[in-house]
Amino acid sequence: MFRQKTTYLLLWLLMDVSCKPKQYTAPSMPDIGSLGNEVGHAIIIPSTLHGLATASGEKYDSTRYTGAHKTLPFGTKVLVTHTLNGKTVTVKIIDRGLAGSGQVIALSKAAALKLDTTKVISMPVRIRYQE
């Protein structure tokens, strides 16, 4: 009985560890001074919102390097690193948003292109910003 429980426990632990997604870190990240860090997923802001007003009052332009964050002040420059391919882009926060759990930033289409990603809904990223 004890041996059977131990076997099930080991199998459960093995399944738990093997099913968790791996976190990748970019090989190098530029230094931008005193930093705050967040790790999670980025989503792409739909192009259908192009030209509409954002929470900061600016109009959303999908061709500029901009983003939306829950709490960072408008105008904050954020270094976004795609953790799977190491590509980076610096975006300016101009809007609020994000409803999903694990999402740390929403990016314009231009920023997503710079990260070499446009055909996915969500991508793993690390964001860094001056506090």
Q: What is the pLDDT of residue 51?
A: 87
Higher pLDDT, 2 or 39: 39
Higher pLDDT, 33 or 83: 83
Burial class from Cβ neighbours inside 10 Å (0-12, 13-18, 19+) for residue 61 reads: middle
Q: Do residues 103 and 125 touch, judged by C-beta distance below 8 A?
A: no
Give the domains, in start order, of the chain with CATH numbers: 23-130 (2.40.40.10)
- Per-residue pLDDT tens over the stretch 102-119: 889 999 999 999 998 767
